[in-house]
Structure formats: structure tokens, C-alpha cells
């Protein structure tokens, strides 16, 4: 079981900005890790970002061994994974961030591929 996800503070701030910019729709992306720290977000081209879901064709993603997780926003106050989120988590192992409205640092949750909560460590 994963005990902690490490994320660069600059990336976390950017993810919060993206969540605010996409509101009232969800946003979703894939997280790239370098040396054990989540450093970048990839947003697949041609995605659909709606008020209750986001989806994209994963065939359009690059073959990239540094993709270690996902991120998506919830345009409501619920930061818990839905059944659809849990299914998605199981397909893209690693770490999964959910950022819920109103998109502050306190509104970010991390989960493992089974939906268990994971501690977040912000790296300057």
C-alpha cells in the first residue's frame, strides 16, 4: 500500500488553477513523476470536460513510463471517489488526486489505485 504521494508545490498550485478555470466543469489529466515526485500534468487532446464527468481517448496519450497517476476535479464539495473514479483508478495505478470545489489546498485528496486515502507531501 502506498503511504504518501509527493508533489511539487508549483504543480499543485497549477492544478488548483486548472480546476478553477474549468469550473463548473470537471478537468482531468495524467500526472508525470520524476525521482519520486509528481512534477507535471498531461492533458490528453480531444477530451470532454462536463459538469458531471470528464473523459478522453487514452489511445491519444504518449507511451510514457513516467505517468504515475491521475488528477481530476469535482465541481462540488465531494472529494471522495465515485464508483466511476474507482474503476478509473484501477486502470491507471499509482496515485490519484481529486480536487473539489472551491479548489483550495484544503480541497485536495490523494488516493491509491484501490481508493484508499494517501497522505500528500508538498515539495517546495
- 64-90, pLDDT tens digit by residue? 778 899 999 999 999 999 998 998 888
Q: Chain centroid to CA 7: how far?
A: 11
| pLDDT of 39 over the 70 cut | yes
pLDDT digits (tens, 9 = 90+) for 5-22: 999 999 999 999 999 999
Q: Is residue 119 annotated as part of the catalytic site, yes or no?
A: no
Query: What are the cell numbers at 114?
Result: 484501490
Cα separation of 92 and 72, whole Å? 13
Query: How does DSSP classify residue 65?
Result: T
Q: Can you give the pLDDT at residue 58? A: 67
Q: Which of 10, 13, 26, 114 is catalytic?
A: 26
pLDDT(61) > 90: no
d(CA 118, CA 121): 10
- pTM equals 0.88
Amino acid at each position: 500500500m502506498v503511504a504518501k504521494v509527493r508533489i511539487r508545490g508549483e504543480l499543485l498550485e497549477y492544478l488548483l488553477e486548472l480546476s478553477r478555470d474549468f469550473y463548473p466543469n470537471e478537468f482531468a489529466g495524467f500526472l508525470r513523476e520524476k525521482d519520486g515526485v509528481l512534477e507535471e500534468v498531461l492533458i490528453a487532446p480531444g477530451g470532454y470536460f462536463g459538469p458531471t464527468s470528464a473523459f478522453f481517448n487514452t489511445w491519444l496519450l504518449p507511451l510514457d513510463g513516467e505517468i504515475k497517476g491521475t488528477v481530476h476535479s469535482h465541481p462540488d464539495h465531494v472529494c471522495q471517489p465515485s464508483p466511476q473514479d474507482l474503476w478509473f483508478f484501477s486502470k491507471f495505478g499509482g496515485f490519484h488526486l481529486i480536487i473539489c470545489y472551491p479548489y483550495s489546498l484544503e480541497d485536495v485528496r490523494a488516493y491509491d489505485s484501490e481508493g484508499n486515502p494517501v497522505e500528500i507531501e508538498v515539495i517546495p
